[in-house]
Amino acid sequence: MKVALFIPCYVDQFYPQVGMATVKILEHFGVDHTFPAAQTCCGQPMANSGCMPEAKPLALRFVEIFKKYQYIVAPSGSCVSMVRNHYSTFFDKDDVEANDVRRRTYELSEFLTNVLKVDKLDGKFAHTVGIHQSCHGLRELRLGPSSEVMAQRPEMLTDLLSGLEGISFSKLQRPDECCGFGGTFAVAEEAVSCMMGDDRINDHLNAGTEVLTAGDMSCLMHLEGIIKRQKHPIRVMHFAEILAESIT
């Protein structure tokens, strides 16, 4: 298979180590991958702010760049959700190319689980890990169960990490609550956003979390900012970093 790496702009600019961890994981499983250097933002920041005309050229560009690849894989649930669930706004419903790109765009844990069929990773990570389930991953990509829906779903992120030797998981009181980031929401509603972030961090502190992880660095960026300002003893890592650090 030929995989194109879709590295979101904020990961590229602020957390390049997450992109490199993604590369290491794909190489560990023998995946032939490439990074299309022409890629730009997927348009999510504009779309979330209601600026749809500004987002459309980015969506058109995305499809043009990635249409020739068998799979498109990104370490970001929110950006993948933008492509898969919200690009329909910019294309005709019968646009075969656009629909094909949307269908073939995967979040990393989803790709490992559903395409590569990974059920166990050999490695060691002897820490208590608290998993933050991002809203886009749960509510739009269905990467895990959410409390408002009775349907049973696999917990992809937990299942992938649980195979690591020595790992344990925090028992949170509210395991699928929003962290308060929400993109521009964190700017427009700063006080509410920070209070929501405080709630999530306090839940992890009370549960004994040593390492806080998620599939979205956007959520983790928000939570890590609060953790650092308040000097809490919690390390923040994208799950790709955990896997890359742990696998043999």
User: Cα–Cα distance between 19 and 194 in angstroms, integer?
Assistant: 27
Rg of the Cα trace of the chain? 18
pLDDT of residue 186: 86
Rounded percentage of the chain residues whose pLDDT exceeds 70: 100
Tell me the whole-structure pTM to 2 decimals.
0.94
pLDDT of 248 > 80? The answer is no
Handedness of CA 153, 205, 217, 112 (dihedral sign): negative
Of 115, 150, 175, the residue that ends a domain is 115
Residue 220 lies inside a defined structural domain of this protein: yes
User: What tens digit of pLDDT does each residue of 48-100 get?
Assistant: 889 999 999 999 999 999 999 999 999 999 999 999 999 999 999 999 999 99
Residue 51 lies inside a defined structural domain of this protein: yes
Alpha-helical segments (H) within the chain: 9-14, 16-28, 44-48, 52-66, 77-81, 96-103, 108-110, 135, 156-161, 185-188, 190-207, 217-230, 239-246
Of 115, 146, 179, the residue that ends a domain is 115
Range of the domain at 59: 2-115
Q: Which of 118-122, 135-139, 238-242 has the lowest mean pLDDT?
A: 118-122
pLDDT of 150 > 90? The answer is no
Average pLDDT over residues 153-158: 90
